[in-house]
Structure formats: C-alpha cells, structure tokens
C-alpha cells in the first residue's frame, strides 16, 4: 500500500496601498512577475505568461547557489482585476513532478486600497516534496514581501 501524498495548504491576506489593476498586472505581466516571484535572493530567469483561462504560466526560479526550480501552470480562472487561479506542477532537479496543486488570488477594493488574498495547496509527488512543502509558507511570505518592494520602488 502506498502512503497518502503529503499535502500543505497556505492562506495569506495582505492589504496593499495600490489599486487592484496594479496588483493584478504584477501577477500577469512577465516584466513585473519576474521581479518578485520566488523566495528571498532567488531570481526568475524564465517567466512566460498567457493571461487568460486555459493560458499557460511557466516559471523557473534560480536559487542563490544556482539550482533551478521550474513550475508550470494553467489558468483556471481569470477575471481582471478580481481573481486569478491556476493548477500548477512544480518539478524537481531531474525535471520530474515533485508537487501539484492549485493557487487562487482574489483582489478586493477596500477604499482605494486592495485586499489581496492568496489560497494555495500542494500535494507531494516526488522525493523532494517534503522539503518543498516545508518551505511553502516561508517562500510565499518572502515572495509577497518582494512583491510589495517591487511595486513601491
């Protein structure tokens, strides 16, 4: 009998002193997304976005030591500037699926500011899954800090 897949769920809500349109573009335009996606000190040398339902998202994050972490996704919801969601698969160093899951982000106007709420889950598939799942919460919080800095610079 195979063990049940590992699973991790994350929910983050933040209030930004920015419009929904600005935040939505930060998630859907490669020139913006590549500036903030990934944990602290990571870069994003590959960032391809087809911003529509059924469109693809492909990102490769590069760690400070040079290891690469590819992710691909397909948008399942896309309503400008209210919500986006996608099903994703993250790969290990050998290009094999390590995680799969879903992510959804909502953008709600609160008096000229925007409440952005992110909800995601991932299930482990491969040998690197445990480490990847353990780093999800810190990784998303660091990414959203980078998002704030990139939009306020």
- In this predicted model, what pLDDT tens digit does every residue of 13-44 receive, in sequence order? 999 999 999 999 999 999 999 999 999 999 99
E strand or H helix at 148, and its extent? helix 136-151
Task: Give the chain's mean pLDDT.
Answer: 94
Show me where the domains of the chain are located: 7-151
Minimum mean pLDDT range among 25-29, 42-46, 85-89, 124-128: 124-128
Specify the pTM.
0.92
What's the CA gap between 44 and 36, in Å, rounded?
8
- Domain 7-151, CATH among 3.30.200.20, 3.40.50.620, 3.30.530.20, 3.30.9.10: 3.30.530.20
pLDDT over 90, % of the chain = 87
Buried/exposed 74-93: b ≥16 CB within 10 Å, e otherwise? ebeebeebeebbbebbbbbe
Q: Which residue has the tokens 């939009």?
A: 151
């Amino acid at each position: 009998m195979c063990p049940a897949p590992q699973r991790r769920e994350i929910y983050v809500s933040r209030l930004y002193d920015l419009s929904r349109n600005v935040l939505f573009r930060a998630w859907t335009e490669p020139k913006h997304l590549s500036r903030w996606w990934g944990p602290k000190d990571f870069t994003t040398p590959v960032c391809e976005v087809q911003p529509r339902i059924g469109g693809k998202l492909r990102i490769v994050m590069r760690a400070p030591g040079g290891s690469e972490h590819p992710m691909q996704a397909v948008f399942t919801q896309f309503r400008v500037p209210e919500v986006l969601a996608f099903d994703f698969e993250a790969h290990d160093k050998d290009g094999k699926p390590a995680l799969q899951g879903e992510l959804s982000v909502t953008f709600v106007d609160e008096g000229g500011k925007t409440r952005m709420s992110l909800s995601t889950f991932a299930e482990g598939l491969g040998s690197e899954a445990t480490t990847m799942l353990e780093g999800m919460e810190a990784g998303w919080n660091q990414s959203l800090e980078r998002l704030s800095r990139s939009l306020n610079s």
